Amino acid sequence: MSYLNGQTGYREDLLDTRSIVKKENYVLIEPDGIVKNAIPGYENCDVTILGSPELGASFADYLITVNKGGMNSGFGGAGLESFLYVLEGEVTVKNADKEAVLTGGGYIYSSAGNLVSFVNTGNEPAKIFGYKRRYEEIEGFCAHTVVGNAKDLPWVPYEGMENCYVKDFLPAAGDFGFDMNFHILKFHPGASHGYIETHVQEHGALILTGKAMYRLDQDWVPVKKGDYIFMDAYCPQACYGVGKDEDLTYLYSKDCNRDVKL
């Protein structure tokens, strides 16, 4: 185990962190201080586990640096659906249905038990955000492989607001075969949610660009590019985009289309 940022030895200043861990409520993990995990199946990769059941999540989120020639021959698992999003670089992905070369913004969703392999086919390290979750089956519906690139999707005004936009990656809005979705939200500086949300769904979110003040439970927390946020069920949440001229954007997951289990 070692630090993802390559920091070694003593710091010149006091040890400090912006990370906040309130299990089964919300978690903020800043990039400084997160570690690389040695996990079987990842060859020539630096892997960090972000969200996990240990935090209270029903899913697992990963930040994966795939070095040149690095690979994983089976991301996913029995009964698990998976999603990979390329932050930078180039990887070739393959499951039982499709094979594709993904570059920045590229993604693949693979249904339960349909393992995804990936390999760095470029000359530079590639960075991937990965997600796994146990699929909730319902009779008469099933999910299917989806491959695309966020750059090809239109920005849609978020709930009618013209300074906040969203991209939906999966067809969950009209297909009960999908029990989750991935999105990117974009806020211009000064833009915000229309209200503080409180709902049963969970989120795992990675800040891609910009800065924000994020309301998490009863706290207003500053966040910026590279930060990871876990929001548990019923955690009050909303944000303002802040800064001078850079939009806030973040990638996030949301479970959907299922009743509660009693």
Domains of the chain: 20-255 (2.60.120.10)
Residue 1 has pLDDT above 60, yes or no: no
Residue 133 and residue 81: Cα distance in Å, rounded? 6
Confidence of residue 2 (pLDDT cuts 50, 70, 90): low
The chain-wide mean pLDDT, for the chain, equals 95
Q: Which residues contact residue 5 at a Cβ distance below 8 angstroms, ignoring those fewer than 6 apart?
A: 31, 32, 33, 34
| Whole-number pLDDT of residue 3 | 67
E strand spans, 32-79:
35-36, 42-49, 59-75
Is-contact 143 178, C-beta < 8 A? yes
CA 82-193-201 angle, to 5 degrees, is 35
Residue 2 and residue 36: Cα distance in Å, rounded? 5
Whole-prediction pTM: 0.96
**Residue-wise pLDDT tens digits, 97-116:** 999 999 999 999 999 999 99
Residue 236 has pLDDT above 80, yes or no: yes
Residue 21 and residue 32: Cα distance in Å, rounded? 15
